[in-house]
């Protein structure tokens, strides 16, 4: 007598359980991925108020810009989001980076994913109107310099806003 039949469990029942578990596992991570992408897109497309002093992260146009690389910015947010936001969130930034991808957000507005410390969650740059026009001529792997009005974060990912592409 087969040991599996002795306990009332057949090989097909075991296979069915494995397939169901694998399917449930895949659905969970698929939903998690969709949730992260939606959170990022909502953050990028939500109107930002330059007069919002309550967030503590408003940009001071008169402050000199802070020069930083996308890798440094990503590392700072990975280590301590609150500290990074305090350091970088109140000033305009000059960000030097390598383009990881050029993607489209809500309303088909292009944004850049910059090479950071995590291959899957690089800093993202929402482009100003001129930059959105220039995005069609950019290439993955291209080095770029941006002047961004401010930075915030979504799920630990730095989100650069109102970025102009510098020569």
Q: Give the ranges where 46-128 is alpha helix by DSSP (H).
A: 70-79, 81-88
Q: Picking from 45-54, 93-102, 105-114, 137-146, which range would have the lowest pLDDT averaged per residue?
A: 45-54
- Average pLDDT on 121-144 reads 96
State the CATH class of domain 66-166: mainly beta
Token pair of 160, please?
Answer: 């650069």
Q: Give the start-to-end residue ranges of the domains of the chain.
A: 3-45, 66-166
- Average pLDDT on 15-42 reads 51
- Going by their DSSP bridges, the two strands 66-69 and 93-104 should be labelled as parallel
Q: Provide the mean pLDDT of the chain.
A: 78
Q: Looking at the predicted structure, is the pLDDT value of residue 35 above 50?
A: no
Task: Kindly indicate the confidence band of residue 22, based on its pLDDT and cuts at 50, 70 and 90.
Answer: low
The pTM assigned to this predicted structure is 0.65
Q: Is 58 exposed, middle or buried (0-12, 13-18, 19+ CB in 10 A)?
A: middle
How do residues 77-104 score in pLDDT, each as one tens digit? Answer: 999 999 999 999 989 999 999 999 999 9
Pick the residue with more confidence: 121 or 37? 121
How do residues 96-132 score in pLDDT, each as one tens digit? Answer: 999 999 999 989 999 999 999 988 889 999 999 999 9
Q: Looking at the predicted structure, is the pLDDT value of residue 155 above 50?
A: yes
Task: Report the distance separating Cα 86 and Cα 107, nearest Å.
Answer: 31
pLDDT value of residue 63 = 81
Task: Kindly indicate the confidence band of residue 52, based on its pLDDT and cuts at 50, 70 and 90.
Answer: very low
Beta strands in 33-166 (DSSP E): 66-69, 93-104, 110-114, 124-127, 143-154, 157-166
């Amino acid at each position: 007598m087969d040991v599996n039949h002795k306990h009332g469990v057949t090989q097909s029942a075991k296979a069915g359980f494995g397939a169901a578990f694998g399917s449930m596992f895949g659905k969970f991570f698929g939903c998690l991925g969709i949730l992260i992408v939606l959170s990022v897109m909502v953050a990028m497309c939500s109107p930002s108020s330059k007069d919002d002093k309550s967030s503590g992260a408003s940009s001071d146009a008169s402050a000199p810009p802070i020069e930083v690389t996308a890798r440094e910015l990503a590392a700072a947010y990975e280590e301590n989001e609150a500290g990074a936001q305090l350091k970088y969130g109140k000033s305009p930034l000059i960000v030097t980076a390598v383009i990881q991808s050029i993607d489209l957000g809500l309303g088909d507005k292009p944004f850049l994913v910059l090479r950071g410390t995590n291959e899957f969650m690089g800093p993202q740059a929402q482009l100003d109107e001129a930059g959105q026009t220039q995005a069609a001529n950019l290439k993955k792997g291209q080095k770029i310099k941006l002047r961004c009005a401010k930075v915030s974060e979504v799920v630990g990912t730095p989100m650069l806003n109102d970025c102009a592409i510098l020569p």
